[in-house]
C-alpha cells in the first residue's frame, strides 16, 4: 500500500462497533492543519456541552501534526485530546516516539474515538484493516506485558502500541498514555478517558511512506538531510544528546529554581546525589531517540541491577520524585519512574500529589491512621514507592490521592488547599514560577 495523498480521519464508536472514515478537504486542512487544531475543532463542534470526562460521549482524539511521519528531524509528535478528568476543560498532551508516524504510514491523520465498549477491547489498525478486538486478556497487566503480548498475537514486532495501564483502568484522574513504553501523553488524565471507554490500547502498523504523498519527494529528502545535520551541529543539541533533560537539574538548583519539598524551597541540599554526574554513574546504560530525530535525548537506565524496559526518568520525573519529595536516592527515583510507566501514571501529578500529602503529613493535617500506617514524610523513599502502588490500584489512602491534590485537599480540609500546587485541578510542572516569570503567568 502506498500512503494516501488525501487526508483521512478514522472514526471509531466503541459502543456500536461502527468504524467509518472521512476525507478532509484541502480548505479544512489549511484551517486546521492537524494536531491540536484538528482535535480542538472536533471537540468544540461535536462534543455535547457539559459532558463529564468519563461519559461515553466524551471524545478521545489522537491527531498527528502536519509533518508527523516525515523524515524531517524533530517533527514526529502527535496529540491526544479529550475533556480532562482533572480540569474538566479541554485537555491535550503531546508525545513523540513512533506511534504517530506509524499511524501516518497506515494512511490516517487522526483517530476519533467515542462511546464505551461493553467489555475491555483494543483497536487494531493495519492500513485499510481496522478491527475492534477483545482485550480481556490484557486488562490489569503492566504496559510492558501488554506490548509484548500484542506484538506476539499480531505476529509483528514492529507494531506500535499506544496504551493506558492499570491506572487508566482504575480511572486515576491523572492516568496517561504511552507508546513503545518510553514516550508519553502524560498530562490531563487522558489515560483515564481511554480506560473509561474500556479501551486498553491502539495498535498500529502501516506500509505507506510520508514521502509518497509529498509534492517533491526528492526535495523533502534533501531538506531532511540538511536539517538533520543542522540539528547535530547545533551546540544546544550536544548537551541534549549527552545528558538529556536530566542535565538541567544542577543549573536550576544553582539559580534557585529547582522545585524542592512541594515548592517550599528552590534549592535542594542533596543536589549532588541527583545531578547529571550521579545519574550517569548510577543509572545510565544507553540512549535512544524518536522517529527520524537527530537529537537522541532519551535515556536508558538500570533499575535494581537490570536494564529497564521503560526508559529512564526525564527532568520532570527526576525533580518531582527527588527534590520535590525531599529524596536523594536515584534508585528510588528510577523505580518510581518505572512503576509510573508500568501502570501508566503521569509522573508529574503522581509526585506532585504525593509531595502535597507529605507536606500535609508533616503539618499534622493527616496522620498514620489516614495513610494506612505509612510514614509519609519528605525524604522517605519507601513511603513514596508504596504510595505510587496504592494510587495506581486505588487502595486505601491511594484512592484519595488518585483524585489529585485539589480534590484531596478539599476532602482533607483544615487549610490543605494551601499546599496543593495545582491549577484548575492539575498539578503544575517542575518549573519554579518565582524564577521563571513567564511560567508563572501561564499558571
Confidence of residue 213 (pLDDT cuts 50, 70, 90): confident
Taking only the tens place, the pLDDT of each residue in 63-97 is: 999 999 999 998 999 999 999 999 999 999 999 99
pLDDT at 212: 81
pLDDT at 2: 40
| Region 311-327 average pLDDT | 97
pLDDT at 5: 64
Helices (H) and strands (E) in the chain, counts: 17, 17
- SS3 category, 390: helix
Task: Evaluate if residue 42 carries a pLDDT over 50.
Answer: yes
| Region 160-170 average pLDDT | 98
- Any bridge partners for residue 382, and if so which? none
Taking only the tens place, the pLDDT of each residue in 395-416 is: 999 999 999 999 999 999 999 9
Distance in Å from the first CA to the final CA of the chain: 46
H or E stretch covering 410: helix 405-412
Task: Evaluate if residue 357 carries a pLDDT over 80.
Answer: yes
Query: What mean pLDDT is reported for the chain?
Result: 96
Pairing of strands 177-179, 160-163: antiparallel
pLDDT at 100: 97
* 26-35, 161-170, 197-206: least confidently modelled range: 26-35
Q: pTM of the full predicted structure?
A: 0.96
* 233-242, 267-276, 330-339: least confidently modelled range: 233-242
pLDDT at 239: 87
Confidence of residue 238 (pLDDT cuts 50, 70, 90): confident
Task: Evaluate if residue 6 carries a pLDDT over 90.
Answer: no
Pairing of strands 110-114, 7-13: parallel
| Region 183-191 average pLDDT | 98
pLDDT at 1: 37
Task: Evaluate if residue 4 carries a pLDDT over 70.
Answer: no
Confidence of residue 379 (pLDDT cuts 50, 70, 90): very high
Amino acid at each position: 500500500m502506498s500512503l494516501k495523498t488525501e487526508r483521512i480521519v478514522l472514526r471509531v464508536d466503541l459502543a456500536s462497533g461502527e468504524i467509518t472514515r472521512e476525507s478532509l478537504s484541502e480548505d479544512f486542512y489549511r484551517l486546521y492543519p492537524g494536531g491540536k487544531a484538528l482535535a480542538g475543532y472536533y471537540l468544540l463542534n461535536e462534543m455535547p456541552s457539559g459532558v463529564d470526562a468519563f461519559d461515553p460521549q466524551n471524545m478521545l482524539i489522537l491527531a498527528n501534526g502536519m509533518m508527523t511521519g516525515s523524515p524531517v528531524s524533530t517533527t514526529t509528535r502527535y496529540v491526544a485530546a479529550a475533556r480532562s478528568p482533572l480540569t474538566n476543560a479541554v485537555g491535550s498532551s503531546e508525545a513523540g516516539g513512533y506511534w504517530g508516524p506509524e499511524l501516518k504510514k497506515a494512511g490516517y491523520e487522526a483517530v476519533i474515538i467515542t462511546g464505551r465498549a461493553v467489555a475491555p477491547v483494543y483497536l487494531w489498525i493495519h492500513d485499510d484493516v481496522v478491527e475492534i478486538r477483545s482485550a480481556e486478556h490484557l486488562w490489569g497487566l503492566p504496559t510492558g506485558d501488554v506490548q509484548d503480548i500484542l506484538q506476539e498475537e499480531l505476529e509483528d514486532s514492529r507494531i506500535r502500541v499506544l496504551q493506558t495501564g492499570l491506572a487508566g483502568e482504575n480511572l486515576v484522574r491523572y492516568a496517561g498514555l504511552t507508546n513503545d513504553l518510553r514516550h508519553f501523553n502524560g498530562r490531563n488524565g487522558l489515560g483515564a478517558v481511554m480506560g473509561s471507554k474500556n479501551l486498553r490500547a491502539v495498535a498500529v502498523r502501516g506500509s505507506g511512506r510520508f514521502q509518497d504523498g509529498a509534492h517533491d519527494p526528492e526535495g523533502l529528502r534533501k531538506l531532511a538531510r540538511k536539517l538533520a545535520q543542522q540539528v547535530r551541529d547545533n551546540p544546544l543539541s550536544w548537551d541534549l544528546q549527552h545528558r538529556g533533560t536530566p542535565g538541567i537539574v544542577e543549573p536550576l538548583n544553582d539559580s534557585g529554581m529547582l522545585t524542592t519539598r512541594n515548592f517550599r524551597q528552590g534549592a535542594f541540599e542533596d543536589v549532588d546525589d541527583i545531578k547529571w554526574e550521579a545519574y550517569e554513574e548510577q543509572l545510565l546504560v544507553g540512549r535512544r531517540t524518536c522517529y527520524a530525530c537527530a537529537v537522541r535525548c532519551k535515556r536508558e537506565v538500570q533499575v535494581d541491577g537490570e536494564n529497564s524496559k521503560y526508559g529512564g526518568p526525564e527532568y520532570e520525573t527526576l525533580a518531582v520524585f527527588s527534590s520535590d519529595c525531599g529524596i536523594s536516592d536515584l534508585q528510588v527515583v528510577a523505580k518510581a519512574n518505572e512503576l509510573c510507566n508500568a501502570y501508566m501514571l503521569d509522573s508529574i501529578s503522581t509526585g506532585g500529589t504525593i509531595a502535597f500529602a507529605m507536606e500535609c503529613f508533616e503539618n499534622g493535617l493527616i496522620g498514620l491512621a489516614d495513610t494506612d500506617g505509612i510514614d509519609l514524610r519528605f525524604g522517605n523513599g519507601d513511603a513514596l514507592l508504596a504510595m505510587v502502588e496504592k494510587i495506581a490500584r486505588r487502595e486505601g489512602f491511594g484512592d484519595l490521592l488518585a483524585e489529585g491534590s485539589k480534590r484531596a485537599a478539599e476532602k482533607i480540609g483544615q487549610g490543605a488547599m494551601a499546599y496543593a500546587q495545582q491549577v484548575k485541578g492539575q498539578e503544575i510542572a517542575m518549573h519554579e514560577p518565582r524564577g521563571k516569570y513567564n511560567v508563572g503567568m501561564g499558571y
